[in-house]
Amino acid sequence: MSIYNEIDYRKIFKGLILQRKKKDSTINFQNMATYMRIQKPYLSKIINGFAHMNADHISRMCLFKTI
């Protein structure tokens, strides 16, 4: 997946998570939501285009499973 082929950050976000899920079974949307300190339904809204991430969410998303 090339991030440069997409316009919507949510598609990039979803694609990268699905790719990483294949390599590491501990990576899933529930664990990510917990790490981002948001509820899973809100994360689902973000992924499906009904909500946006704020700067704190983006920061935590980038740090998820990188520490």
DSSP state letter for 54: -
Query: Counting beta carbons within 10 angstroms of the beta carbon of residue 46, is it exposed (0 to 12), middle (13 to 18) or buried (19 or more)?
Result: buried
What is the phi-psi region of residue 18: left when phi exceeds 0, alpha when psi lies from -120 to 50, beta otherwise? alpha
pLDDT of residue 66: 64
Residues in CB range of 39: below 8 A, 6 or more apart? 33
pLDDT of residue 42: 95
Higher per-residue pLDDT: 64 or 2? 64
The confidence score (pLDDT) of residue 1 equals 60
pLDDT in tens, 17-56: 888 888 888 888 899 899 999 999 999 999 888 999 999 9
CB-based contact 54:29 (threshold 8 Å): no
Q: What is the mean pLDDT of residues 8-14?
A: 83
